[in-house]
Chain A
C-alpha cells in the first residue's frame, strides 16, 4: 500500500497528462522512489493509477535501464561503462569497487546499503571515469574519491 498522499499526487500527475500513459514513466519512478525498487506490488499500484493492466506496466518497466524490477540497496551506485569512461579507466574503477565493497557488479552489499550497477553513458564524459549516486553525477573519480562519495572511506 502506498500513502494516500502519494496516490493522490500520482493521480494528479496522470490527470494532467495528455494521456494516462504519458505519465507512466513518472509514476513508475515515483513508486520506485517510494518502494526503493519497482516491486510487484508497485507494478500493481502503478497499473491501478494508470488504468493499465500489470502486464502493460511490466512492458514499460522492463524496457528502461533505471527502473529496477529487483530489490536494490538503499543507494544505487551507477558506474559508467561506456567509451569515454572506459578510456579513462572505468573498468579498473569498477573492479576495484567490486573488490572493496565485496560485491560483484549487479550485487548489493550485505547491509543492504549499496548496489553496484554498471550503466550506459552518463553524459559525464569530460569527467570520466564517472559515477552517478542518488541522481548526482560525479567525476572524474578515483577509487578513493568514489569510496568517499559512498561514505565507505
Chain B
C-alpha cells in the first residue's frame, strides 16, 4: 500500500495503482484521453503529465503509466507539467475541427472540457487541417473521423476488450484512421460503446443525431430491461421522448459498458402505437370510468364464477413493486391463482436460481470477469446475455480457461473448450471457478462433487425481474400462466405487464390488462389500462444474481412532442398537462384498484420482508435479496 502526496494531499492506494488513479481517488482529475478505467493505460495521448518532485523517479511523468510508489510527492499544477499538458492540447487541436456547434458531442465532450481546462485558446498553427473521409458504419453509429484525436480508445475497446475483428487502426503517422476495411455496419454486439468511450465526437449515436444537447437531457440512473443481467444505464430523454441510452458504471455488474441491444433496442418507448389511453371494450374512456367498469365487471365475475376462477398475472417485465402489489390484490380478492411466469420453461430456471444461490455462491459479472475457470452450461451467452459473454471474455483475456458443456461457444470473444460434463473439469485446480447456467441447461447434479464448494454460480434468466418474480412465486405459490390455463379452472385474468406464451382460450376473459406495450393481452382486454414504461417511473428489478437495483424516473410520461398523431401535431387543445401524461406505474395502478376496493391508502409497495429494499440508492451497487 504505497503512500504518496499529490498536491499536498496524502494518499494511500493499493499496489499497482497508477498516479492518475491515486489522484482520482482523492478527487483530483488529471486530464486524460487514452487512459480509461476499463482499458487501462496506453501512454498515447501524453496529456496526463504531472511533475514528480520527490521519490524514486523525478521530473515530468505520465501519471497513467507511473505506478504510485512510497514517498512520491506529485504536483499536478507544476508549471512544467501544465505547459506540457497545454502543448498536448495544442497539438490535438491542430487538426480537430472547430465544429462544436454542429457536433453531437458538444457539451459532453472530454476534449472540449480539457481544452478549456488547459487554457488553449489561441491557435498558433496556421497550416491546413488534416481531413479524412468518413465511413458508413450502419444505422446506429455516426462516424466523423476529422474529429479524431487518436487516443486509440475505440480500437482498444473494440478489439481487445470486446474481441471485435472488423474495426481497427489503419494508416500511420499523422494519417492514422480508425475504421473498418470498407463501409458497412459494425459487427460487434458491443459497438455502441464506441459512442461512450470516444472522448470526442468521432462516434456519436446516430439514432439521437441532432436532437438535443447534454444540458437538455432528462437523465437519471436507470437499468436495462432487456435481459436478466440488470446492466446499469443512463437513458437520455427530451420532451418525453427517449433519445438514447448510455452505459452507467457499476463495477459489480456491467462495469463501464452495455450491449447494443440495451443501447439501441428501446424504440418501443417512443412507439406511436403505445397504449396511452384507457379503453373499455376498445372505446376510449376516462380513468374513473375505466376503473369503475373494471370493479363492476370484476365483482360480477367473482359472483358468477367464484374467486377460484380468477388469475392475477404479474410479470418478470414488471417492477418488483408491481409484482408485490399483484400478490396483495390476489390476497384481497381471494383469487385462486397468481402467475408470474408465462410457462414453466420460464419459471424453472428462475426458481432454480432462487433456490440455489446464496450470498456466497452468487456470481456477479465482476466475479465472472475475475474468474480463472468458467464453465458455460447450456447457454448461448451472446444471445441470452451479451454482457455476460463480454465478462467471460475479460476472464479469458486474463488467462481463465473456458469450457462449454451442452452448448456451442463459437465466438470471436473467447476460445472455449467443449467439455462432456461438469465432472470432467478441473475445478480443484481453480482458485475462482464460476459456472454459468443458461436457460437451456439440464438440472445440475448436486451430488457432483467435482463442483467443489468454492465454485460460484451464475444463472442466465429471461427477464429483468425473473429473480424477483421467482422469490414471489415461491412465497405465493404461483403457477405459470400456461399451467394455470391448462387446469381449465381459470375463466378470467387480470394481467399486469404480462406476455402470453401460449394461446389463450376464447372462453377465458381478460377482464383487464395493464401495460405500456401494445401486447396481445392489451388488445384482448375488456379494460385496457396504459402504464408507464420503466424510464417514466421509479422501481426495482432483481437481476439474475439476486441483486435488487433501483431505477429512477428519467422523464415524465406522456406523448412525445415528436411524432404525435397522424398529422404530426399535438392535440389542438389547451390544458395544463401534457397529453398522455396521466398514466401511472403498474404498481400504482394496482394500488389504486386496491384502494377502491378497500378504501385504504396504499403508499409503500416495499413493506414487510421487502422493506430493506426501500432505501436502495440507484447510484449504488444494489442490494442482495439472498
Contacts and interface: CB of A to CB of B under 8 A. Distances in A.
Main SS of the interface on chain B? loop
A59 B170 CA distance: 5
Given A54-B181, A55-B180, 14 more contacts: A43-B181, A52-B165, A53-B165, A53-B166, A53-B181, A55-B167, A55-B168, A58-B170, A58-B181, A59-B169, A62-B171, A62-B172, A62-B177, A63-B171
Nearest to A55: B181
Nearest to A56: B165
B163 to A, nearest CB: 12
Contacts of B165: 52-53, 55-56
A53 to B, nearest CB: 4
Contacts of B177: 62
A136 to B, nearest CB: 26
7 contacts: A53-B166, A53-B181, A54-B181, A55-B180, A57-B181, A59-B170, A63-B171
Interface in A50-79: 52-59, 62-63
B166 A55 contact: yes
Interface in A12-60: 43, 52-59
A85 to B, nearest CB: 21
A59 B172 CA distance: 9
Contacts of A55: 165-168, 180-181
A7 B169 CA distance: 27
Contact of A56 (B168, B171, B182): B168
Interface string B156-193: 00000000011111111000010011100000000000
A55 B159 CA distance: 11
A13 B177 CA distance: 30
A43 B171 CA distance: 15
Contacts, number: 28
Interface of A: 43, 52-59, 62-63
Interface residues of B, number: 12
Interface of B: 165-172, 177, 180-182
Contacts of B169: 59
A53 B171 CA distance: 17
A56 to B, nearest CB: 6
Contacts of A54: 181-182
Contacts of B182: 54
A62 B167 CA distance: 14
B166 to A, nearest CB: 5
A142 to B, nearest CB: 32
Nearest to A59: B168
Contacts of B181: 43, 53-55, 57-58
Nearest to B159: A56
B32 to A, nearest CB: 25
B170 to A, nearest CB: 5
A43 B170 CA distance: 13
B172 A63 contact: yes
A106 to B, nearest CB: 14
Contacts of B171: 62-63
B84 to A, nearest CB: 28
A54 B177 CA distance: 15
Nearest to B412: A53
Contacts of A52: 165
A53 B138 CA distance: 19
A144 to B, nearest CB: 34
Nearest first, the 3 A-B pairs at minimum CB distance are: A55-B181, A53-B165, A54-B181
Contacts of A59: 168-170
A59 B171 CA distance: 7
A56 B167 CA distance: 8
B165 to A, nearest CB: 4
Contacts of A63: 171-172
Contacts of A53: 165-166, 181
A61 to B, nearest CB: 9
Nearest to A44: B181
Question: Which of A43, A54, A55 is the most central at the interface, judged by chain B CB atoms within 10 Å of its CB?
Answer: A55
Contacts of B168: 55-56, 58-59
Contacts of B166: 53, 55
A51 to B, nearest CB: 11
Contacts of B172: 62-63
A24 to B, nearest CB: 14
A53 B170 CA distance: 13
A54 B182 CA distance: 9
A44 to B, nearest CB: 9
B138 to A, nearest CB: 15
Contacts of A57: 181
Nearest to B165: A53
A120 B408 CA distance: 50
A89 B135 CA distance: 42
A43 B182 CA distance: 12
A59 B167 CA distance: 9
Contacts of B180: 55
Contacts of A58: 168, 170, 181
Question: Which of B167, B168, B170, B172 is the most central at the interface, judged by chain A CB atoms within 10 Å of its CB?
Answer: B170
B164 to A, nearest CB: 9
A58 B177 CA distance: 11
A52 B412 CA distance: 11
Question: Which of B172, B180, B181 is the most central at the interface, judged by chain A CB atoms within 10 Å of its CB?
Answer: B181
A98 B219 CA distance: 61
A37 to B, nearest CB: 16
A63 to B, nearest CB: 5
Nearest to A61: B170
Contacts of B167: 55
A53 B166 CA distance: 7
A103 B232 CA distance: 59
Nearest to A54: B181
A2 to B, nearest CB: 19
A55 B178 CA distance: 11
A1 B167 CA distance: 25
B169 to A, nearest CB: 6
A100 to B, nearest CB: 30
B387 to A, nearest CB: 23
A63 B180 CA distance: 15
